[in-house]
């Protein structure tokens, strides 16, 4: 049966994508085996995946052209062991015809979107939990463990339970200073950290002027509510940029497990305080807390528009004396664009320091890990104990605007345009 013969009425976006793929109508909780359009493997998980593929699955790779390997989590390598693993990974990728994105190209999710390796209606698996990011273009993007990824690499397929769906309705328009990150954190505080476990989050935006970058921030954080996927329905801009299948649209008569509605015009900037992403508070609750490090980057908020927000706040000023500002562009493309349009210079002049595009200290392996007692305001997505280094450090997750204002003042601050 082709997609044209399927009755999609009353199905959620997740059900539609999986129905189209298996060629018949499927509903939440059905089990399906599906072909995969793209498998993404990162440097730190790749060795286990290769071991399972080689030792347990006969070394077969079904569609090498559908496998992307990204060296981003520890890039460049931090020690001889890591360097050796990465050397092997390069050789393996070359020998098997896998697409390799080497040190400096950027963070896996950012790179896959830039390289157009995720399309509306596709199924994309990643060895990294934030693979929900591909929902930004309405691809069924989800993270899995090493055995799943190895099976997917070997067979070109995976098994999935069709997820139930939580509908998140965003009404009204955002006040100035309320960024996609503030909205995403507010959603997590409403849903809680396991409020959408196994489920698809379907975002329904009343005024959809959200950019691709903002959609990525939203979908990226879906996993912090436990979700399997976070699907943002295509808007005009996405329809222009990609071929969107006609069945890929919201059906408001679909069955949603639950529903939340957030009126954006009532929101204000928020942060997630240690040690949980759903520990969300207004900035004012922690205003004045001294900050040692401000980290701007990651797959959540390391894109050009994020750097623009930071540069606009810091332009002509300087980071506070006792505070370090570390900026890591999400990709080489972001870095190139930031150099070309002057953002890079503005940030350097304001006292920022830069590192190689990649994950940086986001998961505490290298490039700016935190010391005991240090406080960090980060634009990333996890603030668990020890995530960025010492278990005695504290991480506050916030928007690029809050990060910039906090760097400027040396303590947690609301950006001026909002405070005024």
Partner 1 sequence: MSVPITSNNVSSNNVPSNRVRVWRFGDSVNTDDMLPGKYAPFMVGEDKFHTYAFAHLRPEFAKTVQPGDVLVGGRNWGLGSSREYAPQALKTLGVGAIIAKSFARIHYRNLLNLGVPAFTSAELPDVLTDGEQISFDITTGELLRADGSKHQLPPPPAFLQEALQEGSILKYYQKYKRFPGEAAE
Inter-residue contact 204 to 238 (CB < 8 Å):
no
Pairing outcome for strands 352-354 and 324-328:
parallel
Tokens of 238: 């996405």
Inter-residue contact 267 to 181 (CB < 8 Å):
no
Smallest separation (angstroms) from ligand SF4 to the CB of 73 = 6
Among residues 28 and 363, whose Cβ is nearest to ligand SF4?
363
**C-alpha distances in Å from residue 334, one per residue of 68, 327, 337, 340:** 20, 12, 5, 10
Considering only 381, 383, 399, 402, the residue that binds ligand SF4 (CB under 6 A) is 381
Among residues 115 and 208, whose Cβ is nearest to ligand SF4?
115
Among residues 56 and 322, whose Cβ is nearest to partner 1?
56
Smallest separation (angstroms) from ligand SF4 to the CB of 263 = 29
Q: Considering only residues 350-369, where is the footprint of ligand SF4 by CB under 6 A?
A: 359, 362-363
Considering only 21, 25, 130, 181, the residue that binds ligand SF4 (CB under 6 A) is 130
Tokens of 88: 């092997």
Tokens of 351: 């006292």
Which are the contacts of 54, defined by CB distance < 8 A and separation ≥ 6? none
Look at residues 264, 256, 289 and name the one whose alpha carbon lies nearest to residue 186. 264
Residue 107 in the binding site for ligand SF4 (CB under 6 A): yes
Tokens of 192: 């809680």
Q: What are the φ and ψ backbone dihedral angles of 41, each rounded to 5 degrees? A: -125, 130
Inter-residue contact 381 to 400 (CB < 8 Å):
no
User: Of ligand SF4, partner 1, none, which one does residue 185 interact with (CB within 5 to 8 Å by kind)?
Assistant: none
List the 140-143 sheet strands across, edge first.
Answer: 99-101, 67-70, 38-42, 123-126, 140-143
Residue 380 in the binding site for ligand SF4 (CB under 6 A): yes
Smallest separation (angstroms) from ligand SF4 to the CB of 128 = 5
Tokens of 112: 């896959």
Residue 298 in the binding site for ligand SF4 (CB under 6 A): yes
Binding mask 64-83 for ligand SF4 (x = CB under 6 A): ---------x----------
Binding footprint of ligand SF4, residue count (CB under 6 A): 12
Q: Considering only residues 223-252, where is the footprint of ligand SF4 by CB under 6 A?
A: none
Among residues 293 and 362, whose Cβ is nearest to ligand SF4?
362
User: Of ligand SF4, partner 1, none, which one does residue 381 interact with (CB within 5 to 8 Å by kind)?
Assistant: ligand SF4
d(CA 22, CA 170): 31
Q: What are the φ and ψ backbone dihedral angles of 353, each rounded to 5 degrees? A: -120, 150
User: Of ligand SF4, partner 1, none, which one does residue 155 interact with (CB within 5 to 8 Å by kind)?
Assistant: partner 1
Among residues 163 and 297, whose Cβ is nearest to ligand SF4?
297
Considering only 180, 188, 232, 299, the residue that binds ligand SF4 (CB under 6 A) is 299
Look at residues 331, 326, 379 and name the one whose alpha carbon lies nearest to residue 358. 331
Residues in contact with partner 1 by the rule CB under 8 A: 31, 33, 48, 52, 56-57, 129, 143-148, 151, 154-155, 157, 159, 194, 197-198, 226, 228
Q: What is the largest CA-CA distance in the chain?
A: 65
Q: Which residue ranges make up the site for ligand SF4 (CB under 6 A)?
A: 73, 107-108, 128, 130, 298-299, 359, 362-363, 380-381
């Amino acid at each position: 049966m082709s997609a044209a013969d399927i009755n999609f009425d009353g199905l959620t976006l997740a059900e539609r994508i999986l129905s189209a793929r298996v060629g018949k109508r499927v509903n939440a909780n059905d089990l399906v085996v599906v072909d995969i359009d793209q498998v993404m493997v990162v440097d730190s998980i790749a060795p286990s995946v290769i071991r399972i593929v080689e030792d347990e699955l006969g070394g077969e790779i079904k569609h090498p052209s559908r496998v992307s390997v990204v060296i981003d989590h520890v890039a460049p390598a931090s020690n001889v062991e890591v360097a050796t693993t990465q050397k092997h990974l390069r050789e393996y990728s070359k020998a098997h015809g896998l697409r390799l994105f080497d040190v400096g190209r950027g963070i896996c999710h950012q790179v896959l979107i830039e390289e157009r390796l995720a399309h509306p209606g596709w199924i994309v698996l990643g060895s990294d939990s934030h693979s929900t990011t591909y929902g930004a273009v309405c691809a069924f993007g989800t993270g899995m463990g090493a055995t799943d990824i190895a099976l997917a690499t070997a067979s070109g397929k995976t098994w999935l339970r069709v997820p139930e769906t939580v509908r998140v309705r965003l009404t009204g328009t955002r006040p100035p200073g309320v960024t996609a990150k503030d909205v995403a954190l507010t959603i997590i505080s409403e849903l809680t950290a396991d409020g959408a476990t196994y489920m698809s989050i379907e975002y329904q935006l009343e005024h959809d002027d959200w950019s691709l970058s903002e959609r990525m921030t939203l979908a990226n954080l879906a996993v912090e509510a436990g979700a399997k996927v976070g699907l943002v329905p295509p808007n005009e801009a996405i329809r222009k940029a990609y071929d969107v299948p006609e069945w890929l649209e919201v059906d408001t008569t679909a069955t949603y497990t639950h529903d939340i509605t957030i009126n954006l015009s009532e929101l204000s900037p928020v942060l997630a305080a240690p040690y949980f992403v759903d520990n969300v508070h207004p900035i004012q609750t922690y205003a004045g807390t001294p900050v040692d490090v401000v980290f701007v980057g990651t797959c959540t908020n390391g894109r050009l528009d994020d750097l623009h927000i930071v540069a606009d706040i810091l332009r002509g000023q300087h980071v506070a004396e006792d505070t370090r500002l570390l900026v890591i562009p999400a990709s080489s493309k972001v870095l190139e664009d930031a150099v070309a349009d002057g953002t890079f210079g503005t940030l350097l002049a304001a006292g920022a320091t830069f590192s190689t595009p990649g994950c940086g200290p986001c998961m505490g392996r290298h490039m700016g890990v935190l010391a005991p007692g240090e406080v960090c305001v980060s634009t990333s997505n996890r603030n668990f104990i020890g995530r960025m280094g010492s278990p005695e450090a504290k991480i506050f997750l916030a928007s690029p605007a809050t990060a910039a204002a906090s760097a400027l003042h040396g303590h947690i601050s609301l950006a001026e345009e909002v405070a005024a």
